[in-house]
Amino acid sequence: MTRDEIFAKVRSTLVDALSVDDDQVTPNARLKADLGAESIDFLDIVFRLEKQFGVQIPREELFPESIFQGDATYVSNGMVTPAGLQALEKQMPYADLSEFKKDPRLDKVEDLFTVDLITRYLETKLAKN
Amino acid sequence: MRWTWIDRFTAFESGKSATAVKNLSLAEDYFADHFPGFPVMPGPLILEGLAQTGGILVGEANNYQKNVVLAKMNNVKFHREAMPGEQLTYTTTLVDLNETGARVQATAHSGTELLAEAEILFAHVSAAQLPPGLADTKFVFSGELAHLLRMAEAVQPAPKG
């Protein structure tokens, strides 16, 4: 499956799950800030992607929400520490962290969850299968 | 307040499907206000009944060890109103189940007529996700619902065909 084909399927999945229009789902669209996703929508999206692509997506693999919970070494004064960035890179190798690294505020982590992130994740995942 | 919106399970197949019925009596309080002179069952109460039927289906799949919480409904459609005197049949089918939650397809029929349908998303809520200090960390399948669970256990899978 080419990247464009993956993107097209991701787009239709998000249109169904979030009741948004086709043209809102651009590669750079952020799930929360731009498409209005709430935390529970992430569960919905994962179920739909599993069906659409015939893959298993283990908890926390695509959306590792809990990465910073309970470990003070990863976050200090609302900023992600270098150790935290390393952990993020390890857990989300398909994420583009270059912008985030310039201003690694914890409350900006959710902006990493873009349409493109899902596409890249699935690209990696399907290549392994 | 009692918040049980199904009367009885009529079929239950673990991890697959559950069917329950709800009898609508004009004596039920909400008919007086919804609406005066034109009693119809409020749509959200039909959805609540579907969610209770499906929620128990999801809960039973893990032996009621997880808190199953209604999270989201997709593609909800109401085809016509439900009137006093009708018996609604709530049929729920498990579509997806994993550690995080579950998805259920649900319909409400009166006889053979489709009244409402929805896709229901449930989330499993772990003890760590609950507010601190909660006395009962398994708060879903207790109290009133425990009675329904015993009813669910007493019924068999629906006959094939």
- Distance of residue A113 Cα from the nearest chain B Cα, in angstroms: 19
User: What is the percent of chain A with per-residue pLDDT over 70, rounded to a whole number?
Assistant: 96
Rounded Cα distance between B18 and B12, Å, is 4
**What is the pLDDT, as a whole number, of residue A56?**
93
Q: Residue B74's pLDDT is what?
A: 92
The beta-carbon neighbor of B96 closest among A16, A41, A47 is A47
- Cα separations in angstroms, A40 against A17, A70, B39, B87, B100: 11, 21, 35, 33, 10
Q: What does the pLDDT average to over A26-37?
A: 96
Order across the sheet with B8-13: list the strands. B8-13, B17-23, B87-97, B101-110, B113-125, B67-78
Whether the ω angle into residue B35 lies within 30 degrees of 0, i.e. cis, is yes
Determine the pLDDT at residue B83. 98
pLDDT score recorded for residue A118: 96
Give me the pLDDT at residue A59, please: 80
* Domain range summary for chain A, segments of one domain joined by +: 1-63+113-129, 65-110
User: Whole-angstrom Cα distance, residue A14 to residue A23?
Assistant: 11
Q: Which domains does chain B have, with CATH numbers?
A: 8-154 (3.10.129.10)
Phi-psi label, residue B128: left if phi above 0, alpha if psi -120 to 50, beta otherwise: alpha
- Give the pLDDT score at A70: 59
CATH domain A1-63+113-129 topology: 1.10.1200
As for the ipTM of the complex, it is 0.80
Residue type, A37: A
Average confidence (pLDDT) per 10 residues, chain B, 161 residues: 88 96 96 96 97 96 92 96 98 94 97 98 84 73 78 75 56
Q: Is the pLDDT of residue A67 over 80?
A: no
DSSP string, A58-108: -TTTSS-GGGGTT-TTTEETTEE-HHHHHHHHHH-TTS--HHHHHS-BGGG
Rounded Cα–Cα distance for residues B87 and B102 (Å): 27
Residues 51-80 of B with CB under 8 A from A: 71-72, 74
The string of pLDDT tens digits covering residues A83-104 is 889 888 888 888 889 889 999 9
Chain A contact present for B112, CB below 8 A: no
Note which residues in 29-58 of chain A have CB less than 8 A from chain B: 40-41, 43-44, 46-47, 50-51
